Structure 1
Amino acid sequence: MSDKNRNKLPSNLPQLQNLIKRDPGSYKDEFMQQYRHYESNLQIFHLQPSTYTKTLDELVLFIAQVSQCYQEEVSDFPQHLQDMLRQHATVLDKTMRMTFCKALILLRNKSLIPATGVLELFFELFRCQDKLLRKTLYSYIVSDIKNVNFKHKNAKLNTTLQNFMYTMLKDNNAIAAKMSLGVMIELYRRNIWNDTKTVNVIATACFSKVTKIMVTALKFFLGHEEGEKAADSDSEDEDDKKKDKSRKTSKELILGNRVAKKTKKRQKKLERALQAMKKFKKKHKSESFNFSALHLLHDPQDFSEKLLKQLEATNERFEVKLMMIDLISRLVGIHGLFLLNFYPFVQRFLQPHQREVTRLLLYVAQASHDLVPPDVLETTVKTIANNFITDRNSGEVMAVGLNAVREICARCPLALSEDLLRDLVQYKTHKDKAVMMASRALIGLYRRVNPELLHKRDRGKPTEATEEQKNIQYGDLNAHQAVPGAEVLSSKIELDNEQTGEADDTKEGWESCSEDEDDDEDGWIDVHHSSDEEETEDPVAGLTLEEKRKKAEDISTNRILTQEDFRQIQHHQARKTTESASKGKGKRKHIEVDDDENSDRLMLSTIENVHKKRAHDKESRLSTVMAGRVGREKFSHGPQKMNPNASTTNKEKARGKNFMMVKHKLGKKKGKRSFRDKQMALTKALLRRQKKN
């Protein structure tokens, strides 16, 4: 028999694997032969676990592939792999270690082993100095836990793994702890483990002694992750540094384009490079989380106090301190905490020359709320006014200081004293537009919240909103008995009457129309619409404050308000701030209400909102030029044809021809001849004429 037809099943594992999956019973003896071969190789491998054995590598994957066909025979096989990885994980050859892990993954996918033991083992393998292995295990752990909780939450497994991860976060190996933290954050991001226990386990990582772990946990609560994964070992750090050196930043590209000649080609090339870099960053940028994690903390007061104590004693970089300050300020603002030592700590950094000072001002505004004692914030506001809002500083610095004071006072109006407020209001006529706009915005704020602190000339025209405004006192509970502004709606009785009246009006209208048809066939019928009056008349005009309050309480308790009702109330409340309190003296311009506006979240742009006209660049100048050409006749040079469809001359046609078509004519152009040349030409012409005659 030739070699082609000879049976090679003992040595051809892929062929045997295919046959076993088709007919397991017929090839049981061949499988048992290979399994005994595996056991003998495994005993030899125990003697030298750091060496690579190709035979054992192939046998392990073979048995894992067909294990579902002989479950009783391979019952000890998963335990062999787990014991090998637990005993020799750090000394195993990386190829063999990856093979054992892949075999366990195959067995787990076939539901031949429970998830708890395998996943706990994979978490322990994060200690290995093998980046590819950690990346593979990370992806599998996340996907496996997701599949387990796909149909319904597996509370028993989740609790067991969360308790195990809590111990892993305290592991001496920083890489294993950071990878475990990354798994929990990824599961929270995918809404798999979005419970309070996960959030509070991650919160413990904010006090880790390892900077990378602490920064990862801080960024989780702040709503963003690291743009690029930090390296897990010294060798990985070197690789990342090499990659960063080879990849230019957007700032380097812009600076490199400044020193050469400005051409459209170079500009387009720069734009393409910046666009490609933007796509790269967007692709590698993690999704932002919502702020629900901050609401799931068990004890935010204790957590913020511990974080502040750590901040005061830390020697970390300034960027890390900024993140800790940001998290503390968000906790204080969201939960209304009392953390009085926080404001004097941040107050030390509130100087115009301080790096990232606008962010620090933002964090002070975030940590402000109406329950903070006014004298605590008053000191901070005075520091901002003394350091920023002075004539010795530039207009931008003064505007930033005024914007910061406005945002603090929007959350705690009593933080600004009457004397200081009237001093800051004087900048409403400042020559710098940014300062002027910031000062007027501060005036507009106190016209709404506490107009009594302003000078009489700065309070503006009284409106309905100011009539209803009460003097603010510290600790006052602003409890409403009804929905504010509900008096603009119709009560339940009025709605029933309107529906009945509309039906009667409709019936009478049809009857009157039928009668008028006989009397006046050629005439027009005047139809009165009630909606015309609703657009011009105020439904609550002429009511006193007490009557409005009673009507609002009646409507709030006896009616179910719809979204349209709330929108109508919102517009009515906005109209109160613009309409004069005394009817007949005119109205201010109505302000439209933006339903999508989210004023609860404070953005950095509100602090840096400096109104200053910027210099025109080439694109803005070109857009201005093109806008000026709209509606204007097309500019043309020289005399124009009376008939634009008339034919052109040869000279005009030559302008549109290719250069090779007309270059032979360029050297034959006639020039001006001298008088001597004209004499000679005339003589030759006369001689030629005589010869012809």
Structure 2
Amino acid sequence: MFQSHVQLIVSGTVLVVFSPTSKDHRTFFSTRSVTMSERNRNQLPNNLPQLQNLIKRDAESYREEFLQQYRHYQSNVEIFRLKPQQFSKSLDDLVMFLAQVAHAYPEDLADFPQELKDLLKQHSTVLDPSLRMTFCRALILLRNKSLISPTSLLELFFELFRCQDKLLRKTLFTHIVTDIKNINAKHKDNKLNTTLQNFMYTMLRDSNAVAAKQSLGVMVELYHRNVWNDAKTVNVIATACFSKVTKIMVAALKFFLGKDEEEENGSDSESEEEGPKVKDLMLRHTVTHKTRKRQKKLDKALKALKKHKKKKKAEPFNFSALHLLHDPQDFAEKLFKQLESSTERFEVRLMTMDLISRLIGLHQLILFNFYPFLQRFMQPHQREVTRILLCAAQASHTQIPPDILQQMLMTVANNFITERNSNEVMTVGLNAVREICARAPLGMSEDLLRDLAQYKNYRNKNVLMAARSLIQLYRQVNPALLHKKDRGKPTEASAEAKALQYGEVDAKDYVPGAEVLPEEQPEPEGEDDGWEEASCSDEDDDDSEGWVDVQHSSDEEQGEDTTAEGEKLTPEMAKRKAAAISQSRILTQEDLKLIRAKQISKEMEKAAPKGKGKKRKLIQIEDRDTGAELPSLSDIERIHKKPKSDKDTRLATVQAGREGREKFSSKKHKKNQRSSTTNKEKKKNKAFMMMKQKKQVRGKGKRSFRDKQIALRDSLLKRKKQA
């Protein structure tokens, strides 16, 4: 225990004199704590982060300090108005401080958001970039706290796209997309969406190309995220296709074509973030020690990954946007008029051609002048000629008069399918003719088809296969146009095939092939029990399965439909039975599978050769879909047999495989490059003359006893001869 008095001196002043053994030490510590709290409170005006933290804990206790900082902010704003282009560090800090604590004093800061918006509107172009970014971040913070209405803030941010600040545009773009997505997360806010869409429609016509491009990017991103996927958004984006600014027009064309746009606006698209894969997770689990806890973590990670994959957006390549256009005919005509007088580079004109052709094929539009326009580019030496041929196939449909398509097919045949061209050019021409005829069979004339069918025995396999695929198409569509020897053996499908005239529609009131299903047995009178119906349907299913097996039990009876009495069905009886079944029951997935198998058997029966040909042709018929909504470029460029590579091509492939590999070195390297080398490795780097003697000695030392005897004998004999 202390026996003497102690004097505490702080800054030269005696505060308390007491004895440690007395009770006066309590008074000392209480006085000291009060003194320290007052000192911290006096430091708060210069320490905004600490004041911000204290206000969030207890706002009412620090109201005076807040009002002091708010008055300081108002004085800084008045100074800022005199020189808005000058950066102010104190104003920058005070704006973020007030934005952080605005929720604690909503009455005092009621005019604070509007004041910031007015400052940005008046001085947005002359503001210092750092201070302008601070103002925008403060407004974003206030919007996240629901202290600002979204309409006025988003309109201001769209106007700020005019600023020459790429980082600012990126930040604003991210916030606009995220904010609109969050607003429409639970339910669609149609009033807000309509207001913003109308404002964006005016922004697309803005004189500032950067602001218009960013506004278009926001609408495209919201459409891809399924937030604004309505017809109004699509039609507003459609107006951007006629913009005088090339970048805006190209962005709108890419949206309708479904291509991935090169993001210049820094979008935080969810598709850009790729998480771990299932293979990586399983490998990580394999190489680690297996415990129950690790297994649970693996299961949880796999479940989260599966859930994330389900949330992935649909493929961007779809026709939903083209389906939502109000007037596709007028839109296509305006695009074609713009294309005819366009002076843009060839890639942009090609994109416009692609969009017009998709509109024509999808909506079956009539635009006669488009086909002669395409014929001007149908030359083998034309750049991107395969895409132009693809446009011709996309723009083909049954409502086009046959004479227009015949002229286009003759152009393709005369320019591509001639022996003066290479085999690849001929193959591309035949594939293009096949894709066009698959969508408009009446465009092919009998003389042209028979001429092209003669290439079925051509010396090149690519040309041969392309010609045979064209023959196979018309065997299904209109066998009468083919020569008799090219029609193949008659089948049920070819017998039922009917060549439709222009404008004729083959509308059936039944499901073709439904005659393969059994007819339902009539219900007994006075019994309405549902269990009985279920049992009857089960018996019918069993009978139908047995009937199918009987039908395909032998090659002789394959495809012969019979009635319940065992009589063979005629075509008229088969139609009546199919109509009765289609109208009396709802077809299940199993029924549709049986019908599909029946239709395939009609195409294969009595026509497919035995052995390999039968299997290959069956696969071709199942995979081939001539009624596809959109042809692909691979169908035009399909090459069955690649040409043999020349020496330069093979050498280039070898050189490409050597990239990143050390010359004449092994792939086995040391794990640690700084570790010492072995004696064996050191010997490899020594000169040959230094190692020559060692190798000879080492060789002698390894000789067997018998070898040494022979060597000694030879040495003695040699000496004896010399003596």
Separation of aligned partners in 2, 1:180 and 1:25: 43
Q: Contact 2:222 / 2:229 at 8 angstroms: preserved in 1?
A: yes
Deviation at 1:610, TM superposition (A): 2.1
State the match for 2:571 in structure 1: 545
Classify the secondary structure of the residue corresponding to 1:127: coil
Unpaired runs of at least 5, structure 1: 233-285, 507-527, 623-655, 687-693
State the match for 1:239 in structure 2: none
Show CA shifts across 1:432-470 (max 9, x none). 111111111111111110111111111111110111111
Classify the secondary structure of the residue corresponding to 2:46: coil
Q: Contact 1:483 / 1:552 at 8 angstroms: preserved in 2?
A: yes
Separation of aligned partners in 1, 2:419 and 2:73: 85
1:425 aligns with 2:453: yes
State the match for 2:228 in structure 1: 193
Alignment of 1:91-102 (within 5 A): 91-102=126-137
* Among candidates 71, 75, 85, match of residue 50 of structure 1: 85
Q: Contact 1:61 / 1:103 at 8 angstroms: preserved in 2?
A: yes
Deviation at 1:552, TM superposition (A): 1.1
Separation of aligned partners in 2, 1:382 and 1:595: 28
Separation of aligned partners in 1, 2:439 and 2:60: 77
Separation of aligned partners in 1, 2:600 and 2:546: 27
Show CA shifts across 1:179-223 (max 9, x none). 000000000000000000000000000000000000000000000
Q: Contact 1:579 / 1:588 at 8 angstroms: preserved in 2?
A: no
Worse-matched range after superposition: 333-342 or 462-471: 462-471
State the match for 2:302 in structure 1: none
Separation of aligned partners in 2, 1:618 and 1:301: 51
Classify the secondary structure of the residue corresponding to 2:343: coil
1:161 aligns with 2:168: no
State the match for 1:319 in structure 2: 347
Separation of aligned partners in 2, 1:677 and 1:581: 88
Worse-matched range after superposition: 448-457 or 173-182: 448-457
State the match for 1:345 in structure 2: 373
Alignment of 1:424-443 (within 5 A): 424-443=452-471
Rate the CA distance shift 1:195–1:657 in 2: closer, same or farther, 3 A.
closer
Worse-matched range after superposition: 166-175 or 532-541: 532-541
* Among candidates 25, 28, 44, match of residue 60 of structure 2: 25
Separation of aligned partners in 2, 1:437 and 1:153: 54
Rate the CA distance shift 1:323–1:665 in 2: closer, same or farther, 3 A.
same
Worse-matched range after superposition: 220-229 or 98-107: 220-229
Alignment of 1:24-423 (within 5 A): 24-227=59-262, 229=264, 288-423=316-451
Deviation at 1:54, TM superposition (A): 0.5
Which letter does structure 2 place at the counterpart of 1:187? L
* Among candidates 632, 640, 645, match of residue 603 of structure 1: 632
Show CA shifts across 1:57-105 (max 9, x none). 1110000000011111101100110000001100000011001001100
Rate the CA distance shift 1:29–1:493 in 2: closer, same or farther, 3 A.
same
Show CA shifts across 1:11-52 (max 9, x none). 211111111111111111111111111111101100100000
TM-score (norm 1): 0.77
Separation of aligned partners in 2, 1:501 and 1:187: 49
Worse-matched range after superposition: 483-492 or 325-334: 483-492
- Between the two proteins, the alignment pairs up a number of residues equal to 573
Separation of aligned partners in 2, 1:134 and 1:501: 65
1:591 aligns with 2:618: yes
Deviation at 1:290, TM superposition (A): 2.2
**Percent identical across equivalent pairs?**
59
* Among candidates 699, 702, 709, match of residue 666 of structure 1: 699
Separation of aligned partners in 1, 2:155 and 2:84: 22
Alignment of 1:500-519 (within 5 A): none
Which letter does structure 1 place at the counterpart of 2:699? L
Alignment of 1:533-572 (within 5 A): 533=550, 535-536=552-553, 538=559, 540-541=561-562, 542-572=568-598
Unpaired runs of at least 5, structure 2: 1-9, 12-34, 268-313, 524-531, 563-567, 655-679, 685-690
State the match for 1:678 in structure 2: 716
Q: Contact 1:488 / 1:539 at 8 angstroms: preserved in 2?
A: no
CA-atom RMSD in angstroms? 3.5
Worse-matched range after superposition: 552-561 or 670-679: 670-679
Worse-matched range after superposition: 128-137 or 573-582: 573-582
Deviation at 1:613, TM superposition (A): 4.0
Separation of aligned partners in 1, 2:236 and 2:341: 23
Q: Contact 2:465 / 2:640 at 8 angstroms: preserved in 1?
A: yes
State the match for 1:511 in structure 2: none
Separation of aligned partners in 2, 1:681 and 1:4: 111
Alignment of 1:619-630 (within 5 A): none
Classify the secondary structure of the residue corresponding to 1:483: coil
Rate the CA distance shift 1:150–1:498 in 2: closer, same or farther, 3 A.
closer
Q: Contact 1:580 / 1:588 at 8 angstroms: preserved in 2?
A: no
Q: Contact 1:575 / 1:591 at 8 angstroms: preserved in 2?
A: no
Separation of aligned partners in 1, 2:171 and 2:433: 51
Which letter does structure 2 place at the counterpart of 1:540? D
Show CA shifts across 1:260-317 (max 9, x none). xxxxxxxxxxxxxxxxxxxxxxxxxx96342210100000000000000000000001
Show CA shifts across 1:452-491 (max 9, x none). 1111111111110111111220000121111121111122
Separation of aligned partners in 2, 1:564 and 1:596: 22
